[in-house]
Structure 1
Amino acid sequence: MEHSATPLIPDHQLSLDDQISPVVSLDEMIEQNLANLGLPQFIQVILISLLLILESQQTFISVYTDEEPTWHCISNTTTCSSSSDICTLSKSAWAWDRPSDSTIISDWSLECAGSSILSGLPSSCFFIGCLLGGLALSTLGDSSSLGRKKLLFLSCFAMSITALATIFANNIWIYSTLRFVAGFFRAPIMTSVIVLLSEMVSKRWRGQVVIIGFTFFSFGLVSLPAVAYINRGSSWKMLYVWTSIPSIVCCIIIYPFVSESPRWLFIHGHEAEAMAVLKRLASPPNYQSDHGLESCCLSNMPPKAKNVVPKLDLYSSLKDLFNRKWALRRLLTIMALAFGIGVVYFGLLLGVGNLSFNIYLSLAFNGLLDIPAYLLTFILIERWSRKSSILTFCILSGTGSAICAAIGDEQEVLQIGLELASFFSACVAFNVLLVFGTELFPTCVRNSTTSLVRQAINLGAAFSPVLISAGRQNEFLSFGVFGLVVFCFGFFVVFLPETRGVTLCDTLDEQEYFKTGGELR
């Protein structure tokens, strides 16, 4: 059952003078003036989504920079063959197929480092950085003066600068440290994009614009193999150069043209700025109607209503969240679900090098498969419940990944087909999860909770590189484990409320009101 948005102050608490002008809620104001996805809003969606191309490239760049390259025998003796362990061979008996500086493995002679932990260390450090960065920076988009926009661009710019600095690394330890720092600053990007997009449109369009953002993430994933292939004969450092410099330039150019979230501006007392943003974003028919900005906004709202949402100190929003058992239980449940999806989503993408298939085509096929997955998500979020969608595709992804591990490398075409099917299902579940996560919590903590959900995904992703390294000897330790984890953790979704078509709340009190009223249980 869907409830209409409630006024910020109940009518019975207002004096007779206060009730002369009708009081509207912030959600009503957004719905009335941003009901149509006009050109100003669409331009904002595109500009904000462009940053996900940059994030995607830095997230999966290790597929090429950290891969274990192929080699060949250069000795005519019988001691060297394609099935030999190069760690038992003389250095004079074999050579790399490409220049030795094409990946960090060959550049720093890590092929016989022995431990799968060491070869997977840089990728794990990146996702651990994402995890800690999310925990440290998550509330800055809610409670600090940064807001959604400044946090987004600051994070993207710092990530890009750190990626460029990676070219100066001369050993695995410095490299891993820089990857950790890049991951730390990368953490809030996806969260800020999702929240900023969803708060700039009415509830009718919030799911669709988030999917548009995901599509740009896919563009970054598809473009990365092309950049890597062009630089396949160059040093791995050139891949960081060709991805980081455009990112830095993009951040500088786009920043002045992106608007802050009107919801965030309003609840933090920046009413004039919020009004200016709404005027820029509102489509002309809505602006001229009787329900336009001039007739229903803050100028007609009682002074009490303007200050009903107090400014919050840093981390106070999360403290308030943790003090409410229903909210904490909801957060922990969706984080467990996110962990399982994170393991399989990032594990399948980062693990394409373990398949007996061309590594450039493998990642390109996965990236291209993202696009129909987004289109399917675009349809599902309007026609099917969030819970049913996530559970169904978690089961399908887990089953496909486990079978992929069971058949091995002998059936190359079938294996890549199952991997693609498993990734397609994981991608749909991932997309719906991110939309679902933004709808479960109110505006005052939405950036924080969405970020925590993202950090649960990153925690799952941090385990993936180690499993992938171990899976080079035993595929069950990679694809098999991925399948089991997402299959089991997917069932956590049954403990969460359905959110399709519900009103976005702005405060925890308002969310609790709807919860007790039966909208969210």
Structure 2
Amino acid sequence: MADSTPLLSQPNSTESEPAPPQLDKHHPSLSSTIEHCIGDFNLSQFLQALFVSLAWAFDAQQTFISVFTDAEPPWHCTQLGRESCNSATSSNICDLPKSSWAWVQPTHSFIISEWALECSSSLITGLPASSFFMGCLVGGIVLATLADSSLGRKNMLFYSCLLMSFSSLLATLSPNIWIYSALKFLCGFGRATIGTSALVLTTELVGKRRRGQVGVIGFFCFTLGFLSLPAMAYANKGSSWRHLYLWTSLQTVLYCILVRFFVRESPRWLLLQGKKEEAVETFKHIASVTQSSLNLAVSNCLSHKEENWNVDMYSALKILLQKKWSSRRLLAIMAMGIGNGLVYYGMPLGLGTLPFDLYLSVTFNALSELPSSLLTFVLIDKFNRRSSILLFTFLSGVCSILSIMEGKPWTKLQIWFELVSFFCACTAFNIYLIYTTELFPTCVRNSALSMARQAVVFGGAFSPLLVAAGRGRKFLSYGVFGLVIGCSGVFGVSLPETRGRALCDTLNEEENKERVVLDETADVVA
């Protein structure tokens, strides 16, 4: 029923809520009008934001699931072959007779044992994971602008999750590694825009007062999704690796169904697309203002004309590159993202080069994302975005370089320097994503955030090479990581500060605001 109130929406109160300040009756901007329509943060907005942010948890599960399904399974010497095992000069099972060893767990527990890939090259065994990240890169480019042009934030989130879940479900039927790798590519292709669509939608459903804190909810969900995998994998121990894909994909399919029926589309995007009646319906379900104030704000929304710009598939990306101010911001943001991605993906990969237990260090790195998200939640509305990113990237760089220091007092401190460096990198990355959503107007916001995340993935693609080179010389891994991320925050110095600023919805609004800032700066200098 079209008029029914969604499960995640609360009816408006027309008596208990205080009236907001009166709107400027001359020429209120579309951005200020939308802020008045949304009103103060309430339970309905929180539930919507929380439910949308759950997509990050399923994103994390599919991102890291290959750590367990594609791992090299443990093996042991058989009773009959113990003599040949003990006398062998190599611990490589490929150098041993097949009858002298056996897998510890059933062969169907891992793809390597099921498809007899134990003696295949690393290029073959690593193909599924490489295909996944290649799919992320391609999907990020192909799907980047659809959420800004034709599909919208909600539909983009729905279809992305659906494609990711169905390709993951089909992976349970894979007969060989080639079909499996193709489905992993398709899974990564669909997954590419989930985080951006979820983050943009949550921040556009609330007003500027709680925008930063609401954006952090997704980071918590991503960490919880990552931490849920070891528990699921442990419960699946001894069973087929296909069961792990089945569990994660089915719950994602259920989530997609709930998104379709209970999540609201961004009212900002609806207004820019000329879908004013749908925008008004969304305001009625999420707004916390009185009915009379809502009617006044809605009348102002309806009086605005949607911005005339091309809405083909790649129009948003063209606009980002054509306009001087937006291309400058995009290049600076992407330069920062490459440094963040190099460290975010590279540091966990390089833990094997440090003199510390690998399993404990991986666990500590995963757990460090929780306090990182908590710190972001506390700091996001108290400190400037630019200053925070600059501070945390600098600290991450210094600690990363210190983690390669040799000598008696330094060796024991290496893992702690690495943990602090990774913690600072995670915090900088969280603020970086929120900052990106605030730098660009609604009509190109999702495209800009997609390009920023592409830069992060691009930076992460170089990390395995540096880690491999760092096995002989640590400076080539953690030393380079520290130098790159330590300098990445400098690119944000030329960008405008966005803390406490209302989101702009049209290009004209953003350009006018940029012009006012430049004029004020010129007056101060004069």
Q: TM-score, normalised by structure 2?
A: 0.84
Aligned to 2:133: 127
Tell me how far apart the structure 2 counterparts of residues 450 and 506 of structure 1 sit (CA, whole Å).
15
**Post-superposition offset of 1:95:** 4.1
Tell me how far apart the structure 1 counterparts of residues 489 and 237 of structure 2 sit (CA, whole Å).
38
Aligned to 1:514: 513
Aligned to 2:65: 61
Tell me how far apart the structure 1 counterparts of residues 202 and 42 of structure 2 sit (CA, whole Å).
14
Segments of structure 1 that go 5 or more residues without pairing to the other structure are 1-19
**Post-superposition offset of 1:473:** 8.2
User: What does the per-residue CA deviation read over 1:416-457, in whole Å, with 9 as the maximum and x for residues that have no partner?
Assistant: 544433321121011001001111111110011111111111
Contact map agreement 1:71 1:97 (CA 8 A) in 2: yes
Tell me how far apart the structure 2 counterparts of residues 491 and 350 of structure 1 sit (CA, whole Å).
26
Cα 1:475–1:314 shift into 2, 3 Å: same
Within a 5 Å distance, the mapping from 1:75-90 to structure 2 comes to 75-76=82-83, 78-80=86-88, 84-90=91-97
Aligned to 1:293: 294
Within a 5 Å distance, the mapping from 1:443-482 to structure 2 comes to 443-464=442-463, 482=481
Cα 1:198–1:355 shift into 2, 3 Å: same
Aligned length: 493
**Post-superposition offset of 1:319:** 1.5
Question: 2:107 matched to 1:104?
Answer: no
Cα 1:355–1:177 shift into 2, 3 Å: farther
Aligned to 1:29: 33
Question: 2:54 matched to 1:50?
Answer: yes
Letter in 1 for 2:258: I
Tell me how far apart the structure 2 counterparts of residues 73 and 87 of structure 1 sit (CA, whole Å).
13
Aligned to 2:20: none
Contact map agreement 1:221 1:364 (CA 8 A) in 2: no
Tell me how far apart the structure 2 counterparts of residues 355 and 89 of structure 1 sit (CA, whole Å).
31
Aligned to 1:11: none
**Post-superposition offset of 1:296:** 2.5
User: What does the per-residue CA deviation read over 1:228-269, in whole Å, with 9 as the maximum and x for residues that have no partner?
Assistant: 111122222221112111111121123211000000000110
Tell me how far apart the structure 1 counterparts of residues 111 and 468 of structure 2 sit (CA, whole Å).
15
User: What does the per-residue CA deviation read over 1:173-206, in whole Å, with 9 as the maximum and x for residues that have no partner?
Assistant: 3222211111111011100011101111111111
| Larger mean Cα displacement after TM superposition, 170-179 or 250-259 | 170-179
Question: 2:337 matched to 1:338?
Answer: yes
Q: Secondary structure at the match of 2:238?
A: coil
User: What does the per-residue CA deviation read over 1:74-128, in whole Å, with 9 as the maximum and x for residues that have no partner?
Assistant: 53455347x844444444454444334333334444444344x444332222122
Segments of structure 2 that go 5 or more residues without pairing to the other structure are 1-23, 522-526
| Larger mean Cα displacement after TM superposition, 430-439 or 94-103 | 94-103
Tell me how far apart the structure 2 counterparts of residues 205 and 519 of structure 1 sit (CA, whole Å).
27
**Post-superposition offset of 1:503:** 2.8
Tell me how far apart the structure 2 counterparts of residues 407 and 112 of structure 1 sit (CA, whole Å).
36
Cα 1:517–1:455 shift into 2, 3 Å: same
Aligned to 1:40: 44
Q: Please provide the CA RMSD for this pair.
A: 3.2
User: What does the per-residue CA deviation read over 1:346-388, in whole Å, with 9 as the maximum and x for residues that have no partner?
Assistant: 3345666787877776555434322211111112222222122
Q: Secondary structure at the match of 2:496?
A: coil
**Post-superposition offset of 1:40:** 0.9
User: What does the per-residue CA deviation read over 1:40-65, in whole Å, with 9 as the maximum and x for residues that have no partner?
Assistant: 10110111011111111001112212
User: What does the per-residue CA deviation read over 1:374-416, in whole Å, with 9 as the maximum and x for residues that have no partner?
Assistant: 11111222222212222222233344445556669xx998555
Identity of aligned residues (%): 51
Contact map agreement 1:33 1:287 (CA 8 A) in 2: no
Letter in 2 for 1:386: R
Contact map agreement 2:404 2:474 (CA 8 A) in 1: yes
Tell me how far apart the structure 2 counterparts of residues 232 and 125 of structure 1 sit (CA, whole Å).
25
Cα 1:481–1:473 shift into 2, 3 Å: same
Question: 2:177 matched to 1:172?
Answer: yes
User: What does the per-residue CA deviation read over 1:454-485, in whole Å, with 9 as the maximum and x for residues that have no partner?
Assistant: 11112223344566677788876655554454
